[in-house]
Each structure stands twice: as structure tokens, then as C-alpha cells.
Structure 1
Amino acid sequence: MKSRRSAEFAAIAVAAALLLGVTVSGASAQPAPTPSDPPPAAAAEPPPSGRDAAQRGIAGQTIDRVRQAAKTAGDVLTRVPCLAPKGGGKSMGSLPHVARKLIAGQPVVIVAFGSSSTQGYGSSSPAHNYPNRLAERLRRHYPGADISVINSGKGGEDAPEMMARLKATVLDAKPDLVIWQVGTNAILRNLDPTETGRLVEEGIAAIQAAGSDVVLVDPQYAPRVNERAESAGKMIAALGRLAELRRVAIFPRFQVMKEWHERQALPFEDFVIDDGLHMNDWGYACFAQLLADDIVRSVGQIKLGVTVPADVRAYRPM
């Protein structure tokens, strides 16, 4: 069993390095070695034992699976391009804790906190949920960095339930960044946006006190949310005011998805599954791409020595 696991692990590492262009950093920071060409047929090598042949067979199967997964992930955005929203807006501002860790070459921990659209309901596999796509894009941009994205999404929850598990599933992970998606289930349940705002503000204060950056993610633009347009408008406004008050970033998912539908003329079925609420693989991938690009841009401001005013946190992707 140990030999089989070792073969699978080795195959995955080699395949990931070849397919995704990610180098594996060691103590000497040398690039990962490339496999040599196979020996000629006449090479005098002893025939593989039965165990070696089985391990090679396992390794080959694992490489094929990794190749197929990478191809599938890459194909998601080819059918519809992921375009950044047009027009300007406020900058996300700085993400000082994340930037400081990246500059120092220290590991970065990100917690994606939320409900079913963080958990990944509607995606075809866990590889296609937004936290995993976000991790993939950030690691591609920072190939030498040790970046972990923890998926702490739980379907059906909103602020009351999330606050009950904030310490155990978020704070105890000691994150450098918390991406908090909240508000959709409150809209669907007709919960008071003022009370939701109060709970979220309490949570932000606890996250900031623990030394983490925060990005809020507001509700999605989807048919079932749009059926409660008045409640959705109040929730989005409340979260926007809260972001300005607490000086944290907010990713305006509602506005971004609305632009997909109205300005880019994408039908809902291109980014929302049949339940009229949750995103599909393309929706999660584009959301993750735009969010990752803004995180990279915000970190880059600090690396370049650009100081962004602390009160400039609510933003719209450029």
C-alpha cells in the first residue's frame, strides 16, 4: 500500500510540474528536474519486477488523470471568455498581511468563508469550485510561494450560523486573508439586513483583531435572488456601507454577474445552473479569476511601494 501511494504521489508531482508550469522549490531553489528520455530498446536493463510494473501502471494512470483534469479546467473558460467589467471604480486597496508574507517568502493562508457558493454547489467537481480555482490562479502567479486556500463554505448558512463557527473554522486557521461571502441566504429568508450587518461587523472586528485582511463578497446576481430585488438591494447596500465603515475590501459579485448578463449579453444558463441560484463551472472560474487578479494587483501596490489610503477598500474590478 505504501509503494502504491508513493507511486501516485510521485506521478502527481511530475504531472503537475509539467502541465501547470509550477516549479517545486527546495532548499537550493532549483527548478524541478525534467524527466529524461526513455532508454533505447536495446538498453541492457533488467526487466521490471511485477511490483515495479504495477507501480508504473499506477503512475501512468495517475498522470493521465492529472492531464485530463488540467485539460478540463483549462477548457472551462474557452467556450465563453472571462472579461473584466468595463469602467472604473475604487481600488481594493492594500492587503498588507498577504503582501508582507509574500514579500518575506513566508507561507500564505487564505480562508474562503461562506455558504453553498463557497462550498461549490453547482460545480461539476471540487476542482472547479471557486476556492480551488482561486488557489490555482494565485499559485500560477506566485510559483515559488506556499499558498493555501481553505474552503470553509457550508451550504444553507448565513451570518448567524457563520458567526457560530467563526473561531473554529476561520480564526483557528490563523489566516492572512479571509474572503467572506455572505448575504444570499439572508435575502432568500427575508432576514433583516440590519441584523445581518451587525453580525458581519462583529465578525470583521474579530478577524481584524486576529491580524487578517478581509474581503467581503456580496450576493450573486441570479434569477432566484432577483425575485427578491428589494431585499437584495438593501442587503447589498448594507454590506457596502459596512465595508466602508470597517475599511475592508468588498468584491461586488452582484454587479459583476449583472454585467455578464446585461452588458456582455450572456444568458443565465451560461453561468448559473438550473436551480436559478448557484453558479456553474464557468461562473466559479470567472469569479475566481477576477478576484485573484485584484488580489494580485493589490499586493503589487505594496511591493511597488505604493500606499493606498486605508479608507479606499470598497472596489470594483478594473
Structure 2
Amino acid sequence: MSSRWFLHKQWFLRGMAGLLLAAAAALPPAVAADDPRCALPDLMTYNEQPMPRVARRLKSGEPLRIVILGSSSSLQTTKGLPRSYVVGLPDALGQRLKDATLRIDNLSERTFTAAQMADAIAQKIPALQPDLVIWQTGNVDAAQKVDINSFAEALNSGLQRLRSAGSDVLLVAPQFRMRLSAMVDVEPYNAAMVQIAVAEDAALFPRFEIMRHWAEAEVFDSRSTDLARQMREAEAQNRCLAEHLAAMIVAAAKLATP
């Protein structure tokens, strides 16, 4: 089944329970980016899962410790690729958390699979004691045609380990690229991530659906043959992703605040 089905089912169940009314009041604040192309349909980034550890850290005034775990699209800069959403995330969070001190460690590796990330969670993350782990995965597994069940098992194993350690977790779905979709079938990996997030009540940033929405609406110019323009458009899109990601984190922290 498609990831859209899982997302639509998730939204429908919330509506049946009356949560859509609450969502209207709990939606993240308007994205602060000055690019109007950042706009998204209501509820696309709505999250009902609180981040209690982030909330406690912000309330205490101690530094908020964040670990980013991902592949090439979560590296700050990679030769030949646009600057990622990670570049804009500190400023986007800083605009919303003006009194907070952020400590961000990026453990991303260019060709990290979900299984390799799960190993990193076991070996490297405990010493960092993060309040929040932003875990992006899926594209490398899709490109390498990793068995979808193995991908799901690695994701679920890593998620459970992070939760046992007391960290809040924000899963970040794979990225959608129109040109990439013709060569690599990312959708099953996105669907598996959505399904796990729904089953485990985990916060999920639906990057795949957001980027597909923008692509289908031709919000950003992905068809240009001008390499410089391609880079500018991709970086503008990543800045928008950073703004929405920051808004989701702040909203989730507020959900955990008494």
C-alpha cells in the first residue's frame, strides 16, 4: 500500500476521534522563512506526539542536545550536492527558541543504511546522551534494494533502543525527487517508515510527502537544465524543510508542557 494511504488513514482516525479540532489549535506556528513557496496544506506536518525530554531541557535552561543521524541528505555539505536542511536547522530553531542553547552533533554518513544507523545508535549515541535524535533514513536502502523487512526491523530496533535510553525521537522520511523516482523506488521504504511511526506512536516528519507535494505542484523548479539554478532551487527547498522541521520540534515540546 502507498505511504499516502497510511498518512490518510492516520489523519482519518484522528478526525474520527475528534483530534482534528484540537489540531487546529495545536498546529505549528507559521513558517518564518521569507519564501512563500514554503507553504504546505494544513495538517501535512501536524504531529500529536509530545517531546517531553526536549520540553524538560528547555524548561531547565540547560543546553538542548540534539543528534542528527542520516545519510548524504543530512550532511551539512557534500561535494556536488546542495546544502542540506541541516544547515538551516540551527537558525530555524534559534528563531523559535531564542533563549535556548543548542548543541548539535551530526553522525550522518553518506551511504548509511538503516541497519548501519541502528549500529551507530548502539555504539555512539549513548555517550552523547541526546535529548532529541533526528533520524533520517530510507534513500540509501532504496538505492541498494535492501530487503524491506530488514529495513523495517532495523528502524524498529533503533527506535526502541533510543526510547529505552530516554531520548525523544523524530523520524525523518526519505526525500522525494522526481528524477530519482524514475530510477529508484523509494515509496515502499517511506511506507514502512510511516507504518512504524503510526504503530509505535512516533513523531514523523513526512519529508517524502512534502517534497512530492511541492514537485507535483511545481513549486520549485526541478526541471531546469541550468545546474546553478538546480542548486539554488534545491537549497531553497531544503531551507523550507528546515523551517517546517523546527516548527514541528517546538510544537511537540509544547505538547509536553503542562
Same fold, TM-score > 0.5, yes or no: yes
Q: 1:157 aligns with which of 93, 112, 132?
A: 112
Which residue number in structure 2 is paired with residue 256 of structure 1?
A: 210
Q: 1:161 to 1:186 in 2, by over 3 A?
A: same
1:202-237 deviations in Å (ceiling 9; x for gaps): 0011100110011111111113531256x4221111
Query: What residue identity is the alignment partner of 2:49?
Result: G
Larger Rg computed on CA atoms: 1
Q: 1:238 to 1:254 in 2, by over 3 A?
A: same
Distance in 2 between the 1:169 and 1:180 partners?
14
Could you tell me how far 1:258 is from its partner in structure 2?
1.1
Distance in 2 between the 1:280 and 1:266 partners?
8
Distance in 2 between the 1:123 and 1:280 partners?
14
Distance in 2 between the 1:122 and 1:233 partners?
24
Q: 1:191 to 1:283 in 2, by over 3 A?
A: same
Query: Does structure 1 residue 205 correspond to structure 2 residue 160?
Result: yes
What pairs with 1:61-76 in structure 2 (closer than 5 Å)?
none
Which residue number in structure 1 is paired with residue 12 of structure 2?
A: none
Which residue number in structure 2 is paired with residue 235 of structure 1?
A: 189
Q: Alignment length, in residue pairs?
A: 223
Q: 1:169 to 1:282 in 2, by over 3 A?
A: farther
Query: Does structure 1 residue 95 correspond to structure 2 residue 51?
Result: yes
Which residue number in structure 2 is paired with residue 22 of structure 1?
A: none
Query: Does structure 1 residue 296 correspond to structure 2 residue 238?
Result: no
Q: Is the 8 A contact 1:187 1:225 kept in 2?
A: no
Q: Is the 8 A contact 2:172 2:204 kept in 1?
A: yes
Q: 1:123 to 1:142 in 2, by over 3 A?
A: farther
Which residue number in structure 1 is paired with residue 220 of structure 2?
A: 266
Structure 2's unaligned 5+ residue stretches are 1-32
What pairs with 1:217-228 in structure 2 (closer than 5 Å)?
217-228=172-183
- What is the TM-score with the length of structure 2 in the denominator? 0.76
- What is the TM-score with the length of structure 1 in the denominator? 0.63
Q: 1:109 aligns with which of 65, 76, 101?
A: 65
Could you tell me how far 1:297 is from its partner in structure 2?
1.6
Distance in 2 between the 1:220 and 1:208 partners?
24
